Structure 1
């Protein structure tokens, strides 16, 4: 989609050219997600909401929401748009 291409473009551009990442920031490639977290991230990136993801994975909506919070914390993200970018970068969505 156009939105996904735009997100990829802007995510690839550094905020300050040549600036190293902050010392307390883990490189996204170094952050490991569990298989279940990756499954949740993939579906969230495709536009599903927790109540829709839950039955697909055999979970409750509150468990899915808990996974989403954990994913956001691990990846240092705060929005669905950032989650979509990260899922695309990890090859979880086409």
Structure 2
């Protein structure tokens, strides 16, 4: 499912227009991004947890040449599914 399909589904399940649903979804996604950039975790009970993870700098290997390369430190986001989501996905 892509964002426009999700917006349509939200509009169908509520009394919102697609434009209103789009604004709500955009606001939710913006707040998740801001929270991850500031605090590190977003917990949606029953759905899952988004958390910011730090990856240390490390030495990797260029797959084409085999030469070692330095991979810089970076932050990334991980998601751990909640119990209810796992149950739904697994039937």
User: Normalised by the size of structure 2, how large is the TM-score?
Assistant: 0.34
Question: Which protein, 1 or 2, shows the higher relative CO under an 8 Å CA cutoff with sep ≥ 6?
Answer: 1
Which is richer in helix? 1
Which is richer in strand? 2
User: Normalised by the size of structure 1, how large is the TM-score?
Assistant: 0.33
